[in-house]
Amino acid sequence: MKNKIEKIRDEFLKQLAQVTDNETLRELELKYLSRKGEFSEIMHGLKDVSIEMRKELGELANTVKTEMQTKFNEISRSLENYGKKSEFIDVTLPGEKFTNGHIHPLTLVQNEIEDLFTSLGFMIGDGPELESDYYNFTALNVPPLHPARDMQDTFYIDSKNKDGQYDLVMRTQTSPVQIRLMQKYGAPLKAIIPGRAFRSEATDSRHEHTFYQLEGIMIGKDINFANLKNMLEIVGKKLFGQNTELRMRPKFFPFVEPGNNGEYTCSLCQGKGCRVCKYTGWLEIVGAGLVHPDVLRAGGIDPDIYSGFAFGFGLTRLAMLKYNINDARLFNSGDIKFLEQF
């Protein structure tokens, strides 16, 4: 038996030394090393010999098997590398195509407005989407039970503060960041705040529970309504072209006084009147006004020294107009066919 083991080993090593291709290598593996190979047979045969012999032969068999396996692995590895070197690459085959990603239409509009405002010296501010009831409403002149809260129904969060009250909401507007920035940086201040806002709405082609706004605030000495008008005109021309005109109509927003709706010449019909502008020739795009003294105070700024204007664009609505998108729900749909168009 001892002889048999050594014979197998010698034969195996001899044949292995002559191997030049993978196929013969696999054949050798099958013949000698596999579970049905010659070596396994030997191992099985061990159960028929006496205990002392079994121990001795077992040890020998194991050493030999390891030796054979190590040698085999060595040759196998060198063959693999050899194979790689001679691998044939057909350079005339068409390459793999990498598709480019697309910038989301909302990001495109946001980038454009950010470029404009940063070139005018505005900073870009940011605030939490999960906001306190105080910042989202009260500090903006909308105390609890104020009817203006009804217009912005939101998602309240199911956790109480230390006074036992529910006071966290998904922010309904980007306006609370006005207060946060005033508190952080004081006056003078020039900032825009792009971001997500949320409302508990029945969704349809013009309403989504999650949408984007872009807020702006400018505080300084003697900032007045003419400054606001000028700024909104610049934005309109940048977004919709040089012939775009602005008209301002009074509108109540609790955090500004006076407040107004800014409307631009309809970019789709050039002011002639169409379905989108409801045949008025104007598009309602931005809420704006002079910051209310109470709001300045909430931000820690003295309204006797400073004044300012603020505005809020619906970024989602802007993108819809600019790219002629007819359903607000498409933006968050993750639909590749929609996104690939931009």
Please give the residue ranges that form the binding site for ligand DAH (CB under 6 A). Answer: 173, 175, 215, 253, 256, 259, 287-289, 310-312
Q: Which residues contact 280 (CB under 8 A, 6 or more apart)?
A: 266, 273
CA atoms within 13 A on the CB side of 15: 16
Q: Which residues pair with 214 in a beta bridge?
A: 194, 313
Residue in the block written with tokens 């301002």: 248
Cβ distance to ligand DAH smaller for residue 309 or 331:
309
Give the separation between CA 117 and CA 235, rounded to whole angstroms.
9
Quote the least distance from Cβ 309 to ligand DAH, whole Å: 7
Quote the least distance from Cβ 321 to ligand DAH, whole Å: 17
Cβ distance to ligand DAH smaller for residue 61 or 285:
285
If residue 214 lies in a helix (H) or strand (E), which one and from where to where? strand 210-220
Quote the least distance from Cβ 188 to ligand DAH, whole Å: 17
Residue in the block written with tokens 């922010």: 171
Cβ distance to ligand DAH smaller for residue 127 or 289:
289
Q: Which residues pair with 312 in a beta bridge?
A: 215, 287
What is the total residue count of the chain? 342
Quote the least distance from Cβ 312 to ligand DAH, whole Å: 3
Quote the least distance from Cβ 97 to ligand DAH, whole Å: 44
Angle at 246 between CA 240 and CA 247, to 5 degrees: 145
Cβ distance to ligand DAH smaller for residue 71 or 209:
209
Cβ distance to ligand DAH smaller for residue 72 or 264:
264
